[in-house]
Amino acid sequence: MLRALVRLPYSAQMRIGSFFGWLLYHLARDRRHVTNVNIRLCFPELTEQERKKRVRAVFHHNGIGIMEAAMAWWAPEDWFRNKVVFKGREHR
C-alpha cells in the first residue's frame, strides 16, 4: 500500500501521513499511554492541555515519518532530483 501511496503528490502524502498519525493516536492505546507518561515525566511544568497537544503532535509526526520512510524506500529516483536542492559550493 505504501509503495502505491508514494506515487501521489507530496502534499497528498503528507495529509495521508497526518491521517496515519491520527489513526494511530486513536488505535494504539498502549503507545499513547507510554507517550503521555514520557511527556509528563520529561516536562512536568506543562499543563494537562499542553501535554495532550504534545502527545497528539508526536503521533502526527510519526504518521508523517511513516510516509517519509516509504518515500525513501519506494519513490522514483527522479523525484529526489527534482525536489531536493543543495545550495553552496561544497555540494556542486
Q: How far apart are CA 44 and CA 72, in angstroms?
A: 36
From first to last of its 92 residues, what are the pLDDT tens digits of the chain? 998 999 898 899 999 999 999 999 999 999 999 999 999 999 999 999 999 999 999 999 999 999 999 998 998 777 766 666 667 767 55
pLDDT at 92: 56
Write down the pLDDT at residue 32: 97
Domain residue extents for the chain: 2-91
pLDDT given at position 38: 97
